[in-house]
């Protein structure tokens, strides 16, 4: 199922964590989390390059790759507190998007059925239509809610006539019943798409989509509070999907469809921390990192930290120890 190592470039794991083989359940029997790369960008509508994202995210760190990362604020080391394995990249031929997504769907279903949390390194956002579907096939249609950070709604009816692409995955997930529209939350939308017809479709599905101006005026924490109440109503778990273009391109230029006016990197990291501390997260993807357009690796570094932030918060949640963001660091 997985490529032997990384599909593009030299093989190394996320921050030096152990490898596993998805075709050998014994190699990940004790895992809590399994990281897998989805190196595909055939679904892009503008600048390609996200197929190199998994490699860049794995390596986006200035510290030694020693499988240790003590989190300063949370006072926990997720790579020690959790059993985290890297399965390498899935074999995703760039000329066959539909077949590649099927491989990803099968992989996340397998990981979920094994009782592990899949963390998928993208790749363009078309992968969400597959990775979420795989988990939903295990947990039940409509049983997982979704919180989606993005500049774009990704709810297009089609993309240049194609039903599959990075502009359509959220519509496909709702139409297929894998995720309920009224348990689908989006944060960070802005710019000049989609049109009224698509927005009306979103409204009719019961979606809740927070545009950046609303987030600015109401405050991110209030929006998250409101979102959490919806996400945990009648669902057994939450899937977190982070398109790196939710962050302003001044802080994350390495992406295919940059849109000015986004979140700061700090806002995204703090939101991810809260989500993984307070909600039963059952899957994560981080997508649309396009290294050819990055500057000084700052987008890859941010995406690496998004993954670490999520893992650290999951570890902290499982530890049962308290955390207060207002308490002084040395008193925690």
> pLDDT for 249-283, tens place per residue?
999 999 999 999 999 999 999 999 999 999 999 99
pLDDT tens-digit profile of 125-136?
999 999 999 999
**pTM score of the predicted model:** 0.97
Question: What pLDDT score does 28 carry?
Answer: 98
> Under 8 Å CB-to-CB from 326, ≥6 apart: which residues?
none
Question: What pLDDT score does 166 carry?
Answer: 93
> Under 8 Å CB-to-CB from 329, ≥6 apart: which residues?
72, 73
Phi first, then psi, for residue 154 (nearest 5°) are 55, 35
Residues 306, 247: contact at Cβ < 8 Å?
no
Question: What pLDDT score does 162 carry?
Answer: 81
Question: What pLDDT score does 192 carry?
Answer: 96
Residues 146, 183: contact at Cβ < 8 Å?
yes
Question: What pLDDT score does 161 carry?
Answer: 85
What tokens appear for 133 in the block?
Answer: 């579907």
DSSP state of 17: P
Q: Which residue has the tokens 């995955």?
A: 169
pLDDT tens-digit profile of 67-126?
999 999 999 999 999 999 999 999 999 989 999 999 999 999 999 999 999 999 999 999
What tokens appear for 244 in the block?
Answer: 């790196």
Beta-strand runs (E) in the chain: 33-38, 70-71, 76-77, 84-89, 117-122, 144-149, 184-189, 208-211, 237-243, 281-287
pLDDT tens-digit profile of 156-202?
998 888 878 899 999 999 999 999 999 999 999 999 999 999 999 99
What tokens appear for 307 in the block?
Answer: 């993954």
For residues 153 and 188, give the distance between their C-alpha atoms in angstroms, rounded to a whole number.
Answer: 9
Count the neighbouring beta carbons within 10 Å of the beta carbon of residue 26. 8
Task: Check whether 308 has a pLDDT greater than 90.
Answer: yes
């Amino acid at each position: 199922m997985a490529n032997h190592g990384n599909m593009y470039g030299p093989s190394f794991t996320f921050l030096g964590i152990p490898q596993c083989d998805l075709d050998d359940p014994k190699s990940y029997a004790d895992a809590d989390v399994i990281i897998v790369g989805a190196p595909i960008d055939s679904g892009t509508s503008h600048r390609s390059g996200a197929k190199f994202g998994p490699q860049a995210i794995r390596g986006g760190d200035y510290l030694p790759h020693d499988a240790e990362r003590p989190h300063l604020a949370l006072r926990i080391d997720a790579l020690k507190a959790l059993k985290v394995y890297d399965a390498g990249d899935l074999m995703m031929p760039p000329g066959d998007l539909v077949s590649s997504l099927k491989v990803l769907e099968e992989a996340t279903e397998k990981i979920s059925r094994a009782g592990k949390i899949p963390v998928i390194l993208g790749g363009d956002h078309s992968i969400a239509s597959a990775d979420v579907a795989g988990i939903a096939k295990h947990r039940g249609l409509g049983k997982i809610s979704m919180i989606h950070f993005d500049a774009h709604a990704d709810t297009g009816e089609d993309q240049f006539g194609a039903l599959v692409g990075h502009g359509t995955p959220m519509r496909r997930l709702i139409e297929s019943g894998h995720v309920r529209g009224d348990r689908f939350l989006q944060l960070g939308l802005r710019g000049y798409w989609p049109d009224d017809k698509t927005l009306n479709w979103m409204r009719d599905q019961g979606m809740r989509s927070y545009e950046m101006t609303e987030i600015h005026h109401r405050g991110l924490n209030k929006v998250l509070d409101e979102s959490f109440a919806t996400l945990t109503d009648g669902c057994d778990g939450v899937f977190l999907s982070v398109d790196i273009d939710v962050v302003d391109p001044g802080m994350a230029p390495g992406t295919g469809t940059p849109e000015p006016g986004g979140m700061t990197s700090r806002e995204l990291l703090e939101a991810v921390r809260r989500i993984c501390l307070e909600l039963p997260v059952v899957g994560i993807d981080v997508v649309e990192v396009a290294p050819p357009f990055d500057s000084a690796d700052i987008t890859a570094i941010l995406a690496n930290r998004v993954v670490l932030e999520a893992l650290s918060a999951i570890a902290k949640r499982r530890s049962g120890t308290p955390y207060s963001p207002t308490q002084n660091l040395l008193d925690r």
